[in-house]
Amino acid sequence: MLRIVLAGICGKMGRAVGRQLIEEDDFEIVGGVDINFVGEDIGNILNLKPMGIYVHNDLETVLKETNPDVLLDFTNPKVVMSNIEIVLKNGINAVIGTTGITEEDVPKIEELSREKGASIIIAPNFSIGALLLMKFAAEAAKYFPDVEIIEYHHDQKLDSPSGTAIKTAELILKNNDIKSTPTGEFEKIPGARGGNLGGIKIHSVRLPGFLAHQEVILGSKGQVLTLRHDSLTRESFFYGINYALRKIKSIKGVVYGLENILD
């Protein structure tokens, strides 16, 4: 039985994931952390029968009281690094679904992981389709000199660009020496050409009606290749989450990107 503390249990993703975890015979939620609905039975939060486990707002306290096998984090970019530091300092493994972590953060996380012997999987996206899009985009970038990314998310998403877009750009940059902005280009409205990561323009759309979607547009003389993935429901993430939780005990150190451990 894998004992899980779920951070961000009261959010939309946390609730959806929590209900899915309950259905797995070899998973057990032993604690829930959130700043909302503190003291509420997590069964009520998940629209299930009361479970006798209550929402707490202090992660370290919950970890010490429950001694879980793994922390599953779906909080927000403002607190995720703090949560990672707390869980690793307590020598507990973690699977991080919260976006906001980049390759620049990985060395610090690796240092903490080595000190305490705890492992961590950081996954900007758990959708297998999204992971394939990243892989295909990185491969296509070997043959197309110019790339732009457009990512679309619901209007409640706090960070931009998305972790998926950042990870996609990082993978592309390993295969493509992106051109710099053409000489003489200027923006009539600042930001009109999107953000810039290593020469790749990234555009973020935040509107009600979207969940999680991404286009990678690659151009060369006389042709354009467009790759797109759409997550239409949160169920699209469940396979990847289950996979990461089942893998966490067999890996060592830090894995940044679920694609690195897919069979």
* All domains in the chain, ordered by first residue: 2-122+235-260 (3.40.50.720), 128-232 (3.30.360.10)
**The tokens of 262 are what?**
């897919």
Report, as an integer, the average pLDDT of 215-236: 95
What phi and psi values does residue 255 have, to the nearest 5 degrees? -115, 120
Return the higher-pLDDT residue of 132 and 263. Answer: 132
pLDDT band at 179 (very low <50, low <70, confident <90, very high): low
AA letter at 139: E
Q: pLDDT tier at 246 (50, 70, 90 boundaries)? A: very high
Higher-pLDDT residue of 43, 180: 43
> pTM of the prediction?
0.83
SS3 label, residue 185:
coil
Decide if 172 contacts 147 (C-beta within 8 A).
yes
Number of Cβ atoms within 10 Å of the Cβ of 115: 11
Would you call 22 helix, strand, or coil by DSSP?
A: helix
Catalytic residues: 153, 157
The predicted-structure confidence for 58-114, as pLDDT tens digits, reads as follows 999 999 999 999 999 999 989 999 999 999 999 999 999 998 887 788 899 999 999
Residues 257, 184: contact at Cβ < 8 Å?
no
How high is the mean pLDDT of the chain?
A: 93
**What residues does 212 pair with on adjacent strands?**
153, 231
| Residues shown for the chain | 263
